[in-house]
Structure 1
Amino acid sequence: MAVLPIRIMGDPVLHAPADPVSEINDDIRILIADMYETMDAAPGVGLAAPQVGVGLRIYTYSYVDDDDQPWRGVIINPQLLMTPPVPGEPDPDEESEGCLSFPGERFPLRRADRVVVTGIDLDGDEVRIDVDGWRARIMQHEFDHLDGILYIDRLGENDWRTAQKISRKRRWGVPGLSWTPGVDNLEG
């Protein structure tokens, strides 16, 4: 297993829809093991294959539920069903999120409170995850990566402008930029 470089906003793989996985083989198993290691090293609660430069519909996740039960898994070729988000402005204290591909920043973003994700796991078995709250946010965030959408693409106008200023200041927004957890210091 290896910690992989995480692509930064502007890399083409982050801004294009990912392809379905056609076969679960040794290459996919190694990729997923590396994704877990990278997610843990970052540290993050989710990681999509495009974030490590692989345009496939795979994401890993790791979180603790309301009963302090740890949940960790992978979803291959996911489908997402969600309740519509409640209209209005997001609460910056309760609805902020960050992204390993726009590292070091957090912005408020309104998301659906409940989602159902279906797909398959590493063994090819069907997976169904029905979650709400923070866990639903994780699933939506990672699913967006598979469609070539970064969370900053969904921000309100003022926060979007701020994100663009940060990107210009850090010289992001161009192909080929990445950072490696445990190696690179990305403090602004």
Structure 2
Amino acid sequence: MILPIVAYGNPILRKVGHDIDENYPNLDKLIEDMWETMYASNGVGLAAPQVGRDIRLFVMDSAQIFSNMDEKDKEEENYPDAPGIKQVFINAHIIEEHGDDWAYNEGCLSIPKIREDIYRAEEVTLEYLDQNFKKHTRTFNGVTARIILHEYDHIDGKLFIDYLSPLKRKLLKRKLDDISKGNIKVDYKMSFSK
């Protein structure tokens, strides 16, 4: 089932998510619905707060980026994380971020039609549970790390626009206000605060 994506302005996007256990109600169905919602919205990641749940859960698929990349782009850049991964992350917690910060033009399904260059670390080491509640500690890099860090922010109550300068945020205020009021058209289902 495709779920409505919570729009900027909803307080749940600012809540820090809580850990869950395998008894969380209808978890497999929620994960299945999150995958379906993410793909239907042309996203590469989706966090539980974006579908109205204040839990530490997100899904991501960086393999899409590599499969949609043309050969010229693949040759021009070194992508250490190619061909990408498709993964469920439950109760994720960052152990360490490594490497230099690098810029990448990010967007967010909860903040449609706004894209900005955001600086994030090259690598991140995470401790998390997979969908079977098996524990992992793993280091991710490249675009995969970028998506993970973006989605991780969601379960910590942060948004990519929080990394912008106060001036840039001020310049985006009208667009952000329009999103929070529902004065925006997107080609996927959204839920706006009233």
The alignment's TM-score, normalised by the length of structure 1, stands at 0.82
Deviations along 1:72-122, one digit per CA (max 9) or x if unpaired, are 110100011212654xxx65xxx2100011012101111111111221011
**Comparing both structures, which one devotes a greater share of its residues to helix?**
2
Instruction: Name 1:97's counterpart in structure 2.
Output: 106
Distance 2:120 2:110 in 1: 19
Hey, what's the Cα distance between the residues in 1 that align with 2:150 and 2:82? 22
Match of 2:146 among 130, 137, 143: 137
Q: 1:32 to 1:180 in 2, by over 3 A?
A: farther
Alignment partner, residue 19 of structure 2? 20
Equivalent AA in structure 1 for residue 180 of structure 2? G
1:177 to 1:29, Cα distance in 2 relative to 1, 3 A = farther
Change (3 A) 1:147 1:178: farther
Aligned partner of 2:88 in structure 1 is 74
Q: What amino acid sits opposite 2:85 in the alignment?
A: W
Distance 1:178 1:71, change over 3 A: farther
Shift of 1:162: 2.5
Q: Matched residues in 1 for 2:183 and 2:11: separation? A: 10
- The code of the aligned residue for 2:62 comes to Y
Aligned to 1:56: 55
Match of 2:70 in 1: none
Report the TM-score, using the length of structure 2 for normalisation: 0.79
- Please tell me whether the aligned partners of residues 46 and 59 of structure 2 are also in contact (alpha carbons under 8 angstroms): yes
**Displacement of 1:127:** 2.7
Q: Is 1:5 aligned with 2:4?
A: yes
For the aligned residue pairs, the C-alpha RMSD in angstroms reads: 2.5
What letter matches 2:92 in structure 1? P
SS at match of 1:54: coil
Give the aligned partner of residue 42 of structure 2.
43
Identity %: 32
Q: Distance in 2 between matches of 1:18 and 1:77?
A: 9
Partner of 2:75: none
Unpaired segments ≥5 residues, structure 2: 67-78
Aligned length: 174
SS in 2 for 1:97: strand
Do residues 162 (structure 1) and 171 (structure 2) align?
yes
1:159 deviates by 2.3
C-alpha distance in 1 between matches for 2:128 and 2:159: 21
Return the alpha-carbon distance in structure 2 between the equivalents of residues 112 and 70 of structure 1: 17
Cα separation, 2, equivalents of 1:180 and 1:4: 14
SS in 2 for 1:122: coil
Question: Which whole-Å CA distance do the structure 2 matches of 1:52 and 1:59 have between them?
Answer: 10
